[in-house]
Amino acid sequence: MNMHKTALIISLAAFALAGCPSSGGPLDSDTGGSVIDDTSGSDGSGTSGVDGSTIRSGGFTDSDAGDTTADSLIIYFEYDKSEVSAQYVDILAGHARRLAADSTQRLRLEGHADERGSREYNIGLGERRAQAVRRLLLIQGASAAQISTVSYGEERPAAFGSTESDYEKNRRVEMSYRR
């Protein structure tokens, strides 16, 4: 998880502008991407959940994006934050291209929060995270009609404990394609 954390810290500066469509520019494609391999199904609670060991670094390049079989992907966030970390930029660019290339593709974004704080406020956080991912995809060519969002707040945790490592796994946006 160390790499994960470091990347998160770097990310903030790069993506503080994520909410600002006119900026468009700070997508640095040199940043190493990472893929969270989740084949457990789109509801994200299919198997024993996502654990740190399923995070592989640098596994997703532009050439993969065109014919990716990774139909779902998870993006993690910092506590009480909704900025998308730089490590996900390339991955999202790939998904944006996939959406732009095929207007029949539909992507669902599910925003989640860890259990700290009140439940309804966490619905707000989950929604804000899903929207941050959505904006990045829109900036890069996906169309609004292709993307739907839902926030589950803390209601559908991926990890059920109350440790910091459980919380890291629960602050996330799950992406899944629907046809």
Q: Give 62 or 155: the residue with its C-beta nearer to other proteins.
A: 155
Q: Give 28 or 79: the residue with its C-beta nearer to other proteins.
A: 79
The number of residues that bind other proteins (CB under 8 A) is: 34
Distances (CA, A) of 135 to 24, 46, 131: 10, 27, 6
Least distance from other proteins to the Cβ atom of residue 137, Å = 13
Least distance from other proteins to the Cβ atom of residue 5, Å = 19
**Segment interacting with other proteins (CB under 8 A) among 56-64, 69-77, 89-97, 149-157:** 149-157
Binding mask 24-63 for other proteins (x = CB under 8 A): -------------------x-xxxxx--------------
Least distance from other proteins to the Cβ atom of residue 1, Å = 21
Q: Under the rule (CB under 8 A), what is the footprint of other proteins?
A: 43, 45-49, 80, 115-121, 123-125, 127-128, 130-131, 134, 144, 148-153, 155-156, 160-162
